[in-house]
Chains A and B, each alone.
Chain A
């Protein structure tokens, strides 16, 4: 199942996600994705998107995410002043380096949210769900699935 990993700032996006869950307008924080049941969504609460390092994003992709999204505050609204600006720049950097290995840049994205924007949150997840279905699972999941399939075939042949 294609997977979206979302790093959500506890001051904005995570609250929006929680509200979306409560109002059942969108994705559950637990991983269910009522509007898009064929896509798994993992939401990780972070103190600020500025805390998310390049390696965290890459590890999420390596761990099988098809899309990694950072959901932070709007500019000027960051609780740590410029965490979201840094996060955006880091996302830009990761989008560049993953293209170097032939991955689509849209596998890593950034969106700004305010705590009361549960509808926008659901909309973003819905849009990303469509995208991840189109792009297919991440590189590592693909190879893992393939290896599992091959192992299963080999086992059957035995």
Chain B
């Protein structure tokens, strides 16, 4: 899932300065799970904005802050459902990830769409209230060779050929709070009885599948209409 967190309220308030009718749009998928931009969070943000504006004496008949949530902001079908509400607003605060914000900006031409979240990474909930990064979307997955532990996302230096000299007692030299990904990889490969696989000579990783060549696309010919 995509993990995000809300921008500081002060930054959001600066962004919406000058607009009178704000629609806060939550997203019911990834950012609901990471408690950054779901229905609850959209309600909370809209309420905070209303109170912030009330303090400044800005609430009145022509001023309005409301909220709504769609199943997924990154799909046209779901965005269609809120067309009327978007049309009635001066600016939309999207609580989706960067994909959601951009999908809205494309769908609602001529409408100001603003991001209320900072999109952080692809990851998972580790436990209640804690999410960790697991994948950097490199486009050429190596997990088969690393015991299912990603060296790109989880090694602070994205090393591909084993730990750096700073790895100590299983911890990364960047911080004692970070497990050394290569220690994890070594331990897991050992427990799988696959240690010798780590000794294999490999060609350089194909980074052309990452950022090289501009924005990436995935095409499924059999699905195209």
Question: Which residues of A are interface residues toward B (Cβ below 8 A)?
Answer: 53-55, 58-59, 61-62, 97-98, 100-103, 139-140, 142-143, 146-147
A20 and B181 alpha carbons, distance in the complex (Å): 59
B50 at the interface (CB under 8 A from A): yes
* Contact with B48, one of A53, A58, A142, A146 (Cβ below 8 angstroms): A58
A59 and B50 alpha carbons, distance in the complex (Å): 10
Q: State how many angstroms separate the Cβ of A58 from the closest Cβ of chain B.
A: 4
B57 at the interface (CB under 8 A from A): yes
Q: Please indicate the chain A residues that have their CB under 8 angstroms from the CB of B52 in the complex.
A: 101-102
Interface stretch (choices B39-47, B102-110, B167-175, B198-206): B39-47
Q: State how many angstroms separate the Cβ of A153 from the closest Cβ of chain B.
A: 15
* Contact with B57, one of A53, A102, A143 (Cβ below 8 angstroms): A143
B59 at the interface (CB under 8 A from A): yes
Residue pairs across A and B with CB atoms within 8 Å: the count is 53
B10 at the interface (CB under 8 A from A): yes
Given A97-B9, A100-B8, A100-B10, A58:B47 Cβ within 8 A:
yes
A11 and B59 alpha carbons, distance in the complex (Å): 39
A140 and B48 alpha carbons, distance in the complex (Å): 11
A58 with B8: CB separation less than 8 A? no
Interface size class for chain B?
10 to 19
A76 and B54 alpha carbons, distance in the complex (Å): 40
B217 at the interface (CB under 8 A from A): no
B51 with A140: CB separation less than 8 A? yes
> Looking across the interface, which residue of chain A has its beta carbon closest to that of B43?
A55
A143 with B59: CB separation less than 8 A? yes
Q: Please indicate the chain A residues that have their CB under 8 angstroms from the CB of B48 in the complex.
A: 58, 97-98, 100-101
Q: Please indicate the chain A residues that have their CB under 8 angstroms from the CB of B55 in the complex.
A: 101-103, 139, 142-143
Q: Please indicate the chain B residues that have their CB under 8 angstroms from the CB of A147 in the complex.
A: 59-60
B60 with A58: CB separation less than 8 A? no
Q: Please indicate the chain B residues that have their CB under 8 angstroms from the CB of A53 in the complex.
A: 40
Given A58-B51, A62-B51, A143-B59, A101:B9 Cβ within 8 A:
yes
